[in-house]
Amino acid sequence: MIRMRYLMFVLVSMILMSGNRLNAQNPANLNLGNDPSKYVGFAQSIYWSALSMEEKQTFIFAYISSAYETRSLANQIFKSSSREKKKFNDKIDWYFRIWGDLLDMKQAGDISIDEFIGWIDLFYSIDFNQDKLFSEALAYAYRKVKGEDKALLELFLGRSLESRAKLSVNEVLQQQTIKKQVAKSAARDVIME
């Protein structure tokens, strides 16, 4: 009886292995082209969507803190080229700036890390962004949290915010309040989904 089960298992395994390979995620069907960064970005978006909220917090912390180790290694490699070294260090410093600003905003009570994660979730929920690198998702979420991406607010208010110096203090405060409410509700909607 055991031999029969074993023989059946081996036979079924061989049939499955000799058949056509599974095309669950055939790269030809993804339309990613020949750009290797698109494959990395697609893998990052799949990984991100599989994480729980706590795991996403850990992933963000690990992603940003690993930049320090990468920076140390890169500084050893780029010893001869100060221009390349500065360019790379500026990019890494940007990650630390994001982290510092997030901590400052959290302490001030402006945002929570859940809202930031909600913006990243929203970024990857858009089909066009599914092959984008995680650094682009971080930049998107950071712009949304900081309120630097004002297109929605400008549409909501019906006027451009470029002439901010001409606005009264009350109008500036009103715009900031509306901007925060719009951002929080959009991020909350993504978190609730």
Residue 169 host element (H or E): helix 169-192
Question: In the prediction, which pLDDT does 35 show?
Answer: 62
pLDDT in tens, 57-90: 888 888 888 877 777 777 777 665 677 677 777 7
Closest CA relative to residue 86, chosen from 71, 65, 99, 69 = 71
Cβ neighbours of residue 157 closer than 8 Å, sequence gap 6 or more: 175, 178
**Within 13 Å of residue 107, how many CA atoms lie on the same side as its CB?**
6
Identity (one letter) of the amino acid at 3?
R
Q: Structure pTM? A: 0.57
Q: Give me the residue spans of the domains in the chain.
A: 38-148
Mean predicted lDDT score pLDDT of the chain: 71
Residue 25, pLDDT > 50, answer: no
pLDDT in tens, 152-166: 555 444 445 555 556
Residue 23, pLDDT > 80, answer: no
Q: Tell me phi and psi for residue 35, to 5 degrees.
A: -80, 115
Show the DSSP H helices in 19-81 as ranges.
27-30, 36-50, 53-77
Closest CA relative to residue 49, chosen from 153, 120, 149 = 120
Count of positions (residues) in the chain: 193
- Dig out the tokens for 84 from the structure: 């390349």
